[in-house]
């Protein structure tokens, strides 16, 4: 993927920046993903998942739902709460608010630009209807982000916790709080533009990728009811009827975690990563890649390498049991990339996936809708299903 297509939207956030700027901002943002910051988010993940469950409880019997549409709104709902302290009601109102509409439209327009080669040229794209639409949607997202940042800065300067969206005072630090308070060694903080770029990047990177992970996990559990039942028993034993999960619960779902990881192996949300070689790379056979070369690391290919993963198309969560994982190379499984530029929010994402999968399985039994075509994956910005993933829901007794 050409990251420059994202630059007008995401600016110089962690995804698109490089060099000393990336190093500085990565260092400043790392505290935002410390486990003490992540702990209260589990309650927010539970709240958002329970809204989805309530929506699904109203689906008529024998009907099916398309997972990506619903789960994308679930994860966006969570991301807005955790990043901006913003309660959007997007799961009940759909894409009716300008901000939600703009985020979805920008994702669609970036995919369109990648797929239509003439749009790779800036002068053509800027003159096209899609290019004009892209700029309009960027303006909407930036305007709303900047407004929220200004309001939060004012609240911090006034020394009081701002009430968000007429909700009661929040009991947690969100991503925006961390960004506004971040300082480097000489006491310099992030500029308003840098904060906006990081907030927009966090929303972009976090909601659709996690939605993909949850959706494919639910698909594979519907396809393999024996694993689904085992996850349900594990969650039921832990929760004992509770509808809200806690931080301590997350480590008590070993089999559910294995199922999520196996889904991420077969269908990694980000199927490949682009990198630029910073110094000449010499392979064991003597061949070299010169400095400056662009390379693509394909998680979807390494995850299906039969030398590492026997019968790679078989869904087998026990691949991730401690006994079978202990001798595996740590770069054999890279759904969150690897190395210094790995995903800074991978623990955040795994936590949200565990909460969503565990709570959904306590309320519903999932079955594939055999009247719909089997989902065929397509590589866009994230890994999606060409005609969606359709699941029938049966309430648990």
Give me the DSSP letters along 21-76: HHHHHHHHHGGGGSHHHHTTHHHHHHHHHHHHHHHHHTSPTT-EEEHHHHHHHHHH
What would you report as the CA-atom Rg of the chain, rounded to the nearest whole angstrom? Answer: 21
Question: Residue 290, CB half-sphere, CA atoms under 13 Å: how many?
Answer: 1
Residues whose CB falls within 8 Å of the CB of residue 60, separated by 6 or more in sequence, listed in order: none
Q: How far apart are CA 6 and CA 23, in angstroms?
A: 20
CB 83 within 8 A of CB 203: yes
User: From residue 327, how far is each of 73, 207, 256, 277, 304 by CA, in Å?
Assistant: 38, 32, 21, 29, 18
Q: How far apart are CA 337 and CA 333, in angstroms?
A: 9
Burial 41-79 (b: 16+ CB within 10 A, else e): bbbbbbbbbbbbbeebeeeeeeebbbbbebbbbbbbbbb
Is residue 343 annotated as involved in ligand binding? yes
Across the beta sheet with 364-368, what order do the strands follow? 64-66, 390-395, 364-368
Sign of CA dihedral 234, 240, 246, 247: negative
The alpha helices in the chain, defined as continuous H runs, are 7-10, 19-29, 35-38, 41-57, 67-84, 90-93, 98-115, 122-127, 129-157, 175-181, 192-223, 225-239, 254-266, 299-302, 322-325, 346-363
CB 214 within 8 A of CB 70: no
Give the rounded distance of the alpha carbon of 283 from its chain centre. 34
Residues whose CB falls within 8 Å of the CB of residue 233, separated by 6 or more in sequence, listed in order: none
* Residues in binding site for heme: 343
* Residues in binding site: 343
């Amino acid at each position: 993927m050409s990251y420059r297509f994202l630059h007008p939207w995401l600016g110089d956030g962690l995804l698109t920046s490089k060099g000393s700027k990336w190093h500085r901002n990565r260092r400043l943002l790392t505290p935002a993903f410390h486990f003490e910051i992540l702990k209260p988010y589990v309650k927010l993940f539970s709240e958002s998942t329970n809204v989805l469950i309530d929506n699904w409880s109203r689906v008529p019997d024998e009907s099916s739902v398309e997972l990506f549409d619903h789960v994308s709104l679930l994860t966006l709902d969570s991301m807005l709460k955790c990043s901006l302290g913003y309660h959007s009601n997007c799961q009940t109102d759909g894409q009716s608010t300008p901000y939600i509409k703009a985020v979805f439209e920008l994702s669609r327009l970036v995919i369109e630009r990648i797929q239509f080669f003439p749009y790779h040229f800036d002068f053509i794209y800027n003159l096209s209807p899609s290019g004009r639409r892209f700029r309009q949607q960027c303006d909407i997202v930036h305007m709303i982000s900047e407004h929220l940042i200004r309001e939060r800065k004012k609240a911090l300067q006034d020394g009081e916790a701002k009430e968000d969206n007429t909700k009661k005072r929040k009991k947690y630090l969100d991503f925006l709080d961390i960004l506004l308070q971040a300082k480097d060694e000489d006491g310099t903080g992030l500029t308003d533009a840098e904060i906006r770029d990081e907030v927009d990047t966090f929303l972009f990177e976090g909601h659709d990728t996690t939605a993909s992970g949850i959706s494919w996990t639910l698909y594979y559990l519907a396809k393999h009811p024996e694993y689904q039942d085992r996850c349900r028993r594990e969650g039921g034993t832990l929760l004992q009827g509770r509808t809200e999960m806690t931080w301590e619960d997350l480590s008590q779902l070993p089999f559910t975690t294995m199922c999520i990881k196996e889904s991420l192996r077969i269908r990694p949300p980000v199927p490949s990563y682009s990198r630029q070689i910073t110094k000449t790379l010499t392979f064991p056979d003597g061949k070299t890649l010169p400095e400056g070369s662009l390379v693509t690391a394909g998680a979807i290919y390494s995850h299906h390498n039969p030398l590492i993963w026997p019968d790679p198309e078989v869904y087998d969560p026990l691949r991730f049991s401690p006994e079978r994982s202990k001798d595996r190379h740590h770069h054999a499984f890279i759904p969150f990339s690897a190395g210094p530029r790995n995903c800074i929010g991978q623990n955040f994402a795994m936590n949200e996936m565990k909460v969503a999968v565990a709570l959904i399985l306590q309320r519903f039994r999932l079955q594939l809708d055999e009247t719909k075509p089997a989902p065929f994956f397509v590589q866009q910005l994230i890994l999606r299903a060409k005609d969606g993933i359709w699941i029938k829901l049966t309430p648990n007794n």
